[in-house]
Amino acid sequence: MVTQSKPCRIGVMGGTFDPIHYGHLVTAEVVRGEFDIDLVLFVPSGVPPHKDPRQVSSKEHRYLMTVFATLTNPFFEVSRVDIDREGETYTIDTLRDLRKLYGDEAELFFITGADAIAEIMDWKNAAELVKLAEFVAATRPGYQFDRKLQEWFEQHGKKLHLLQVPAMAISSTDIRRRVQAQKSIRYFVPEAVEHYIRKNSLYLEHHTHSTADNNEISS
Ligand code: NAP
């Protein structure tokens, strides 16, 4: 249970979450246990710089699905830092904002997918970024990292933590395709998320969603 005092070890679960699924939730729970984390903050991206905005659902849809998915876990919370910041979402800004909120004594563990972390050398202010947190990459079993990536972390005095999570066989891309093809997504996402997707007619058409937040929301 999260106590009233400020959490010291904070997992920062960054992702587009379009939609959030059980692979993400299992990853966060496993990392929480492995790294003795007090609180996992799910941080849905506002405007991912590496994606075509027409192919991403509105940030409020993604935020609300994340809230519904995490509601029953007392160690999980959802942060709006990336959703509410103007402009494109860069992890350097996420970690700086969270550092301001939680103070210098907090230890941050940035958790995301291995395919995303594999590009970290090209992220904005990468050399500063790597010093602001520990980085945990969730991989599907059998995933092999480029040795260059580990070496890059070592050059900055850090280690990239790898965690194999079988549930990461579930993917947001596959879920969107399944909805479009009118296939079941039961047991891929929490029930509330499935209802939310159906009620708001998400993922029925290709490339029609937008981060512009002009979609009407039913919840
Ligand atoms: P992505 O390119 O959509 O995802 C790459 C892979 O990682 C996918 O297989 C994805 O699976 C998986 N993944 C994404 N988030 C995950 C999570 N929290 N836990 C486990 N697997 C996850 O990546 P993204 O979601 O847009 O971005 C991931 C994070 O990296 C975000 O916080 C984003 O802001 C940050 N990022 C920062 C920069 C930058 O600062 N320049 C650039 C890129 C990304 P699913 O599709 O199933 O989620």
* Distance from C-alpha of 32 to C-alpha of 28, rounded to nearest angstrom: 6
pTM: 0.93
Q: Is 57 a domain residue?
A: yes
Given this model, what pLDDT does residue 216 score?
53
Computed on alpha carbons and rounded to an integer, the radius of gyration of the chain in Å comes to 17
Q: Pocket of ligand 1, candidates 16, 65, 95: which has the most ligand atoms within 8 Å of its Cβ, to mutate?
A: 16
Q: If you write DSSP's letter for every residue of 67-103 in order, what string do you get?
A: HHHHTT-TTEEE--HHHHSSSS--HHHHHHHHHHHH-
The residues near 2 (Cβ < 8 Å, ≥ 6 apart) are 38, 39, 74, 75, 77
Domain region containing 30: 9-199
Q: Domain holding 60: CATH number?
A: 3.40.50.620
For 121-143, the pLDDT digits (tens) are 999 999 999 999 999 999 988 88
Average pLDDT of the chain?
91
**Chain centre distance of CA 195:** 21
The residues near 112 (Cβ < 8 Å, ≥ 6 apart) are 13, 14, 15, 136, 137, 138
Q: Is 142 a domain residue?
A: yes
Q: Is 209 a domain residue?
A: no
Tell me how far the alpha carbon of residue 137 lies from the centroid of ligand 1, in angstroms.
10
* Distance from C-alpha of 25 to C-alpha of 22, rounded to nearest angstrom: 5
Residue of the CA atom closest to atom 20 of ligand 1 = 113
Q: What share of the chain has pLDDT > 70, as a percent?
A: 91
Q: Is 212 a domain residue?
A: no
Count how many domains the chain has: 1
Instruction: Give, in degrees to the nearest 5, the angle at Cα 89 between 79 and 99.
Output: 50
**12 close to 41: Cβ distance less than 8 angstroms:** yes
Q: Is 100 a domain residue?
A: yes
- Residue 99 pLDDT greater than 50, yes or no: yes
* Distance from C-alpha of 146 to C-alpha of 138, rounded to nearest angstrom: 15
Q: Which residues line ligand 1 (CB under 6 A)?
A: 13-16, 23-24, 27, 45, 48-50, 89-91, 111-113, 115-116, 123-124, 138, 171-173
Q: Is 131 a domain residue?
A: yes
- Residue 12 pLDDT greater than 90, yes or no: yes
Q: Is 216 a domain residue?
A: no
Angstrom distances, CA of residue 193 to CA of 3, 41, 134: 27, 18, 30
Q: Is 28 a domain residue?
A: yes
Looking at 21-35, 98-112, 199-213, which range is the least confident one?
199-213
Which residue is it, tokens 């990239």? 160
Which ligand 1 atom sits closest to the C-alpha of 42? 18
* Distance from C-alpha of 74 to C-alpha of 87, rounded to nearest angstrom: 31
- Residue 5 pLDDT greater than 70, yes or no: no
Given this model, what pLDDT does residue 218 score?
57
Which residue is it, tokens 């996992």? 40
